[in-house]
Amino acid sequence: MPHSAPAPDTAATNASWRALLHGLPGVDEVGARARAADLATRSIKTTAKAHAIDLAIRMVDLTTLEGADTPGKVRALCAKAAHPDPADPSAPRVAAVCVYSDLVAVAVEALDGTGVGVASVATAFPAGRAPLEAKLADTRRAVADGAAEIDMVIDRGAFLSGDYRKVHDEIAAVKEACGPAHLKVILETGELATYDNVRRASWLAIHAGADFIKTSTGKVAPAATLPVTMIMLEAVRDHHAATGRRIGVKPAGGIRTTKDAVRNLVLVNEVAGPAWLDPGLFRLGASSLLNDLLMQRTKLSTGAYPGPDYFTLD
Ligand SMILES: O=C[C@H](O)COP(=O)(O)O
């Protein structure tokens, strides 16, 4: 059954948003967990695995979002993003480096000419508790400093109170402030309580102008679980079927191993379809996944794991 419906017009009342979102089909929670678990057991052949690892590397948003981040740490991360394996130039670069907005200019300079994008979290990440004007100023600053992608958080308090119009209008305002930059909308699914809410928030974000929907900030558990990513993939699949427009998906938070990455790729292929097996439509937000992908890549090509100090720390 399609999980999409025509969006209300821009003047829609909160009641009409509520009627539409609560009119979406409910998620069978047990069935969703079982399907995601079943897909997670699929194995892939060695040749496909080499391809999957390189694709996963190209999909990584290499992330550092710590209070202790420094320009030096961001420059080191950028060097790694552009040349993940200095001993093997065939290793692909990652999609983007993701940093706080005050470090965007540092990342933009460090990545100039590399083809790696700069993404910035914004809108009072991770809690999103600030007046809209502050969120818009944060967004505009990141874009002015050169961020090509903005990762915003939704107002979970408003969403859980049923104030869907507020959530929608805030996303739409941030989208406008983004100008040419792509907008990823973080749902923080670990705070949304139910899979039905994950589906509703996905739908709301898509209709408010999201270019990507993203699971989590990485600061709240559970983060990017397979059932949640599956529900979000269903939403973008159904939106595409209804409108012809493709929205991207970004699981983020707790994705640490090649096995995690491959499971996500299987899910993408099976649920949204092969068109989404592209960094333009699927990203893996992760601070410490890249090293494992590089280790497994080296193992596949040489037959042996590199030593523990071979790759620089994520
Ligand atoms: O957006 C990405 C997340 O903040 C990264 O979370 P992680 O440190 O669990 O990989």
Nearest CA to ligand 1 atom 10: 286
Handedness of CA 223, 185, 251, 219 (dihedral sign): negative
Counting atoms of ligand 1 from 1, which one is nearest the CA of 217? 4
Which of 77, 217, 290, 313 is the best mutation target for the ligand 1 pocket, counting ligand atoms within 8 Å of the beta carbon and taking the most?
Answer: 217
Q: By the 8 A CB rule, do 166 and 153 touch? A: no
Q: 150 lies in a domain?
A: yes
What gap in Å lies between CA 118 and CA 99, rounded to an integer?
8
Average pLDDT for residues 101-109, to the nearest whole number? 98
Which residues have CB under 6 Å of ligand 1?
63, 65, 98, 217-218, 252-255, 285-288
Q: How far is the CA of 2 from the centre of ligand 1 (A)?
A: 31
pLDDT attached to residue 1 = 40
Q: 308 lies in a domain?
A: no
Work out the number of other CB atoms within 10 angstroms of the CB of residue 144: 12
Q: 307 lies in a domain?
A: no
Nearest CA to ligand 1 atom 8: 287
Q: Is the peptide bond before 227 cis (omega within 30 degrees of 0)?
A: no
What gap in Å lies between CA 166 and CA 170, rounded to an integer?
6
112 catalytic? Reply is no
For the CA atoms of the chain, what is the radius of gyration?
19
Q: How far is the CA of 40 from the centre of ligand 1 (A)?
A: 21
**Which DSSP helix (H) or strand (E) runs through 250?**
strand 248-250
Average pLDDT for residues 79-92, to the nearest whole number? 96
Model pLDDT for residues 246-283, shown as the tens digit of each residue: 999 999 999 999 999 999 999 999 999 999 999 999 99
Residue with tokens 């130039």: 89
Counting atoms of ligand 1 from 1, which one is nearest the CA of 287? 10
What gap in Å lies between CA 122 and CA 137, rounded to an integer?
9
Q: By the 8 A CB rule, do 237 and 203 touch? A: no
Q: How far is the CA of 69 from the centre of ligand 1 (A)?
A: 14
Among the listed ranges 156-160, 233-237, 302-306, which one has the minimum average pLDDT value?
Answer: 302-306
Which of 184, 214, 238, 260 is catalytic? The answer is 214
Q: By the 8 A CB rule, do 155 and 168 touch? A: no
Which of 151, 238, 260, 292 is catalytic? The answer is 151
Nearest CA to ligand 1 atom 7: 253
250 catalytic? Reply is yes
pLDDT attached to residue 47 = 79
Higher-confidence residue of 313 and 117: namely 117
Q: 19 lies in a domain?
A: yes
Q: 171 lies in a domain?
A: yes
Q: By the 8 A CB rule, do 107 and 99 touch? A: yes
Which token pair is 186? 């973080």
Which of 155, 250, 260, 292 is catalytic? The answer is 250
Residue 2, pLDDT > 80, answer no
Nearest CA to ligand 1 atom 2: 285
Percent of the chain surpassing pLDDT 90: 88
Q: How far is the CA of 224 from the centre of ligand 1 (A)?
A: 9
Q: By the 8 A CB rule, do 74 and 103 touch? A: yes
Q: 312 lies in a domain?
A: no
Contact residues for 266 (Cβ-Cβ < 8 A; gap 6+): 39, 40, 42, 44
Q: What are phi and psi of 274, to 5 degrees?
A: -60, -25
Domain count, the chain: 1
Q: How far is the CA of 184 from the centre of ligand 1 (A)?
A: 14
Q: 66 lies in a domain?
A: yes
Which token pair is 305? 């794991």
**Which DSSP helix (H) or strand (E) runs through 77?**
helix 71-82
214 catalytic? Reply is yes
Q: How far is the CA of 216 from the centre of ligand 1 (A)?
A: 8
What gap in Å lies between CA 36 and CA 44, rounded to an integer?
16
Question: DSSP letter string over 281-310?
Answer: TB-EEESSSHHHHHHHHHHHHHSSPPPTTS
Q: 8 lies in a domain?
A: no
pTM of the model: 0.94
Give the strand order in the sheet containing 284-286.
Answer: 248-250, 212-214, 182-186, 149-153, 117-122, 96-100, 60-63, 284-286
Counting atoms of ligand 1 from 1, which one is nearest the CA of 65? 4
Domain with 209 in it: 14-302
pLDDT class of 44 with cuts at 50, 70, 90:
confident
Q: By the 8 A CB rule, do 294 and 72 touch? A: no
CATH number of the domain to which 246 belongs: 3.20.20.70
